[in-house]
Amino acid sequence: MKQQKLSVYIYLFLGFITSVIWIYPFYLVIVNSFKTKGEIFTNTLGLPNDGTVANYPEAFIQLDFVRSFLNSVFITGFSILLIVIFSSMAAYALSRRKTKTSTLIYFLFAILMLVPFQAIMIPLVSIFGSFDMLNRFGISIMYLGLGSSLAVFLFFGALRGIPTSLDEAAIIDGCNRFQVYRYIILPMLRPTTVTVIVLNAIWFWNDYLLPSIVINKEGMYTIPLKTFYFFGEYSTQWHLALAALVLAIIPIIILYMFLQKYIIKGIADGAVK
Amino acid sequence: MTFKKSSYWMFLIPCLLAITLVIIIPFIQGIYYSFTEYNGFQVAAFIGLDNYTRLISDGQFWDSMLFTAGFSIASVIGINALGLGFALLVTQKFSKITSTLFRTIYFMPNLIGGIILGFIWQFIFLKAFASIGEITGIDAFNGWLSDTNTGFWGLVILFVWQMSGYIMVIYISFLNNVPEELLEASTIDGANAWQKFWKIKFPLVAPAFTISMFLTLSNAFKVYDQNMALTAGGPFSSTEMATMNIYNTAFKIQEMGYAQAKAVIFLVIITIISVLQIYITRKREVDL
């Protein structure tokens, strides 16, 4: 027993050391964001001598933070809404009508997950461009197309655990299919819905490549996009750049602190299923 | 009580329409473009296999492919080793708070996008490393991103730092399925921690390897944001990964047809590697 206690201390020590290493990059960025332009060069590793918060209002304005934040919120939120509704509907239909067509469509969803984005990005831009859809709304449609495969899978898996007798009972009681879906199935899919939301929210919120080739109006930039262009312009001004990075990270960290349990569970379920 | 055909299609159509518009049609059109001189506005000429034959002798493309392959191998090893290590660590019998704290910290980089993570590490490599170099007098800390070799390791470090926490989560969920009685029985039989790991936990988490390897390998091959933010391919395109090479061909020099041929080859390579990897790790699972 004594030996076991000793090993717990060793593990604790290991955990402590690795954790410190792991958050050290964040720590350095945060600490330096409170230094002046000059002090970042002369004193990178230490704490600020005369701390300043002046970098933040400047970065806030240069990032056009409120607008980029709202753009990100709109794109992430709207895309997730489309994915949750339409993927769960598709999975419901596929799981309840067992025909050759269903198997084929299910297989199609599976195979499309393997297509890397680079293989379709060029025609995607030309197609959506010809519909005049290179905007926030068009992006959401693209995310629906790109993300629905995995979501359909997850919902399909969950639907196997929901007995069809529930559907039948509801239909005998006079519900139509849509009502069964809306009032019986959708509420029962809630745990999977959380998983789908978590997985896609992290993806859409942080995505850079897709918005960078689709969005060409500065007013529509998302946070990653705006951060990137901001860096291009201010690459030598680390004091502003670091404050901008911290600003860009804050919304995610706040959300993570509140929803940690769901986020970790969502990632685990999404990866393992 | 069967699903009526009409409502069946009503439920399916939005998703089917989206994947058709976003993946299937662009995919087919992409293959067509790869045989043409497409410039983003119009198809100038149908040139058959010319893009592909040109590709064979395109040193820069194959360099980027090799760089990506090397990056993927190093990352996959690093991520899985650390991910499994972290998973074993946080499933030890600490207090709940300690365990959650460690988990949260290891996982944190994952929530943040590649662009921001890339810039964070750009700062670390350029400023913090230089500062450490100055203090310790070790020259190796200087100019990390202006050298091909250290640029490579910079990208690996960034990606390992980002992905280990994610892979940890997968290993945790498998470790949680290891029956407690089995471990207790082995304790009574006098097994030490090392034996418990190799003889009990490791074989039982073997299926997790298949998943983690697949995820890390395919993600590593598709890395773009991190590459863009950390080195932007420099110096002299020597840290340019395959995805960036494709992007630049398409949107910087506007040779969309040629870029599309590269993308098709990229797709073929990724598919082959993924299939091979799944085949090999699955086989190992059975052996264990």
What 3 state SS string does B138-195 have? CHHHCCHHHCHHHHHHHHHHHHHHHHHHHHHHHHHHHHCCCCHHHHHHHHHCCCCHHH
Q: Which of B246, B257, B247 is nearest to B44 (CA)?
A: B257
Residues of B in contact with A31 (CB under 8 A): none
Pinpoint the alpha helices (H) of B43-176.
Answer: 50-56, 59-90, 96-107, 114-123, 129-136, 148-175
pLDDT on residue A6: 72
Choose the closest CB to A86 out of B14, B94, B98: B14
Say if the ipTM goes beyond 0.85.
Answer: yes
Q: Taking residues A184-193, what's their average pLDDT?
A: 94
A108 contacts chain B (CB < 8 A):
yes
pLDDT band at B1 (very low <50, low <70, confident <90, very high): low
Interface of A with B in 33-52 (CB under 8 A): 40-41, 44-45
Q: Taking residues A227-251, what's their average pLDDT?
A: 88
Interface of B with A in 106-165 (CB under 8 A): 106-116, 119-121, 123-124, 127-128, 130-132, 135, 161
Q: Taking residues A246-254, what's their average pLDDT?
A: 91
Whole-model pTM: value is: 0.92
pLDDT on residue A272: 66
Q: Taking residues A68-88, what's their average pLDDT?
A: 97
Q: Is the dihedral of CA B184, B285, B173, A103 positive or negative?
A: negative
Interface of B with A in 48-77 (CB under 8 A): none
Residues of B in contact with A12 (CB under 8 A): 94, 98
Choose the closest CB to A122 out of B12, B172, B259: B259
pLDDT on residue B122: 94
Which own/partner contact pairs does B181-188 have at CB distance under 8 Å and 24+ positions apart? none
Residues of B in contact with A159 (CB under 8 A): none
pLDDT on residue B209: 85
Residues of A in contact with B215 (CB under 8 A): 271
Q: Which of B144, B151, B150, B156 is nearest to B77 (CA)?
A: B156
A177 contacts chain B (CB < 8 A):
yes
Per-chain mean pLDDT for chain B: 91
Q: What is the rounded radius of gyration, in angstroms, for the C-alpha atoms of chain B?
A: 24
Q: Taking residues B109-130, what's their average pLDDT?
A: 93
How many other C-beta atoms can be found within 10 angstroms of the C-beta atom of residue A183?
11
* Highest averaged pLDDT of the listed ranges A225-229, B91-95, B283-287: A225-229
B7 contacts chain A (CB < 8 A):
yes
Choose the closest CB to A177 out of B3, B131, B173: B3
A78 contacts chain B (CB < 8 A):
no
Q: Is the pLDDT of residue A257 over 50?
A: yes
Q: Which of A256, A262, A261, A13 is nearest to B94 (CA)?
A: A13
CA distance B204 to B192: 17
Q: Is the pLDDT of residue A1 over 60?
A: no
CA distances from A91 to A130, A153, A156 (A): 31, 7, 5
pLDDT on residue B288: 44
- Which one-letter amino acid corresponds to residue A210? L
pLDDT on residue A31: 95
pLDDT digits (tens, 9 = 90+) for B9-35: 999 999 999 999 999 999 999 999 999
Q: Is the pLDDT of residue B287 over 60?
A: no
Residue bearing the bigger pLDDT, B176 or A154? A154
Choose the closest CB to A44 out of B105, B115, B131: B131
- pLDDT above 90 covers what percent of chain B? 61
CA distance A192 to A213: 31
pLDDT digits (tens, 9 = 90+) for B220-269: 999 999 999 999 998 889 999 999 999 999 999 999 999 999 999 999 99
